[in-house]
Amino acid sequence: MWLPMETLVYEHQEEYYATLRQADQHADSTLFIEFILQIILDTIESYNPTKMSDKLSKVEKNAYLVIMEYLHHHESINSQIAQELLQKSAPTVRRYLNSFVEHNLLITIGDKKSRIYKKGKVSNYST
C-alpha cells in the first residue's frame, strides 16, 4: 500500500503545524511522532482493499491506468493534459476524473481551471 505522506500532511495541515510548533516549544518530538503515526494508522484503517475493478467500468479503468502512468513520471495532472493523453472530450475526462476522486484514486488541489489532480489514498489499483 502506498501512503501519500504529502497528502496526509495537506489534509491535516493545521493540526500538523500546531503539533510541530508544540514539539518545538517543548524540545520533544514525541507528540509530533505520535501525531504522524496516528494519521498513518487512520489512513491504513480507512483503506478499503476491495478491488477497484468492482467500482470502475472497463473504459474508466483504462483511462485511470493511462493517468497513473503519467503520474508515475509527474507530480500532478490537469484536465487538459488528461484530455490529450486520453483523446477524449473535456466533459468525458471531467467525468472520469470526478469518478477517480470519488473512489479516492486521485485527490484534487485548486478550483475550476487551476485544479490539478494527484495520486489519491488508494494507489495500488488492481484489476
- Residue 39: the pLDDT is 85
CB 79 within 8 A of CB 94: yes
More confident residue, 40 or 83: 83
State how far the alpha carbon of 36 is from the alpha carbons of 15, 43, 119, 120, in Å.
Answer: 10, 11, 20, 18
Taking the complete model, does pTM exceed 0.75, yes or no? no
Assign residue 76 the CATH number of its domain. 1.10.10.10
- Residue 25: the pLDDT is 95
Residue 65 lies in a domain: yes
- Residue 47: the pLDDT is 57
Tell me: do 57 and 101 sit in the same domain.
yes
Tell me: do 66 and 96 sit in the same domain.
yes
Tell me: do 41 and 66 sit in the same domain.
no
Over residues 13-37, mean pLDDT: 93
- Give pLDDT tens digits for 53-82: 567 888 888 899 899 999 989 999 999 999
What is residue 115's DSSP assignment? -
Over residues 17-29, mean pLDDT: 94
State how far the alpha carbon of 35 is from the alpha carbons of 2, 43, 61, 90, in Å.
Answer: 19, 12, 35, 40
Q: Please tell me the number of Cα atoms within 13 Å of 118 on its side-chain side.
A: 12
Tell me: do 68 and 109 sit in the same domain.
yes
Q: Which domain holds residue 82?
A: 52-119
Over residues 10-19, mean pLDDT: 89
- Residue 104: the pLDDT is 84
- Is a pLDDT exceeding 90 seen at residue 51? no
Residue 24 burial (CB count, 10 A): 11
